[in-house]
Amino acid sequence: MAKNRMREAIEGYLFLLPNLLGFLVFMAVPLALSLYYSFTDYNLFTPPQFIGLANYAKALGFSFDAEAYRGVMAEGGTWFAAIAAWLKPTDPTFWVALRNTLVYALGVLAFSVAPAFLLAWMLNSRMRGMTLYRALIYIPVVASIVGSALVWFWIFQRESGVINTLISAVVSTANRMVLAPIGHPLSDPLIGWLVTPQYALLSLILMTSWATIGYDMVVFLAALQGIPSHLYEAAIVDGAGRSSILFRIVVPLMTPTIFFILVTNTITSLQIFSEPYIMTQGGPANSTLTIVYYLYQKGFQRFQMGYGASLAWIVFALIFLVTLAQFRLSGRWVYEE
């Protein structure tokens, strides 16, 4: 008997061997090395030099400029502006990238989760053709982000791009029909979707949301189909209307799925790279530089591998913190049976 047990255990480890080896070589070792590199000055060609926390201090550190603080106050500026002048980040670009990344993640959540839920709710009907619409909305998810980014690059072009051409057509029609005769013609806004700092990040957020909604929708749809029909029937018998079924029964039952989507979307958005790389190269004026893009620049274009590794751990910490916060908050609103 013991011999059989032994044999079974050995077989178990043998079946697991490929995964164990792969995990060791391509996950555990790189993870340990990555942590080590983050404490070193390393250019890939000469051995890493241990420099303690210097990389993290460079990314996260501040110096304080009392002179600038007094200057702003003396000119009658607000104390908020004075504090902003007083804090001098060691690496201002890191903070720009961090801000962009957080705005990016929040923007994608805002533009994708609720619309995806609404679409899933509509497509969960028994009417004909629902699979067709589901497939149409899902196609952007399977399409290469790099390929889609090239397409959107031309949609967002300032001169003769798709969106601006449409806007021009609407403006000139409105002018001809109504606005010019009454003496208030509009001028064509000709928005630089990708080339002006105030629009570029928004444009990328819109594109990423377009590519995300289908995924969210399919996950919501799977969860909606798991809601037992007797719950709906009971509600209908009780005389509940469509909106009270949605908000009193469906949404509470869906909160674990909504939570799952919030977490996975956040994790993905915090690591966005391809969209800015293809469409804006992080510009204009770093307005679409994300943390992973910054990491790529530092590590693979300037060979500051140690600094790059510390940025990677900061991304990881950020993902961890955001996920943890979402878990903590979930206790307040996620419904559990």
Partner 1 sequence: MFTRVHRGEARGKILFYVFLTVVGLVFVYPFIFMVATSLKDSPEVFQNILSLFGARLRTENYATVLGTVNMGRYMVNTAIVSLGVVAGQITTSLLGGYAFARIRFPGRELLFNLYLGTVMIPFTVIMIPMYKLMITFGWVDKLQSLIIPWIFTASGTFLMRQFMKSIPKELEEAAYLDGANRLTILWKVFVPLAGPAIAAQFTISFLYAWNSFIWPLVAINSKANYVVTQGLADIQGGYHASPPVVLAGATLVIIPTVLVFLAAQRYFVEGIATTGIKG
Q: Which is nearer to partner 1, 4 or 63 (CB)?
A: 4
Q: Name residues contacting partner 1, limited to 196-255 (CB under 8 A).
A: 210, 213-215, 218-219, 222
202: exposed, middle or buried (Cβ count in 10 Å: 0-12, 13-18, 19+): middle
Q: Which of 264, 283, 284, 322 binds partner 1 (CB under 8 A)?
A: 264
Q: Compute the CA torsion angle 89, 91, 94, 95 (nearest 10 deg).
A: 10
Beta carbon of residue 175, minimum distance to partner 1 (angstroms, whole number): 19
Q: Using CA atoms, how far apart are residues 200 and 112, in angstroms rounded to an integer?
A: 18
- For partner 1, how many residues bind (rule: CB under 8 A)? 86
Contact flag: residue 116 with partner 1 (CB under 8 A): no
Binding status of residue 267 toward partner 1 by CB under 8 A: yes
* CA dihedral of 87, 91, 95, 100, whole degrees rounded to 10: 150
Interaction between residue 187 and partner 1 (CB under 8 A): no
Nearest residue (CB) to partner 1, 86 versus 212 = 212
Between 20 and 59, how does the x/- string for binding to partner 1 read (CB under 8 A)?
A: x-xx-xxx-xxx-xx--x------x---------------
327 scored as a contact of partner 1 (CB under 8 A): no
Which of 69, 94, 104, 260: binder of partner 1 (CB under 8 A)? 260
Which residue in 218, 246, 215 sits closest to 232, CA to CA?
Answer: 246
Q: How far is the CB of 126 from partner 1 (least distance, A)?
A: 12
Task: Provide the 8-state DSSP code for 284.
Answer: S
- Residues 87, 136, 174, 186: which binds partner 1 (CB under 8 A)? 136
DSSP code string of 205-239: HHHHHHHHHHHHHHHHHHHHHTS-HHHHHHHHHTT
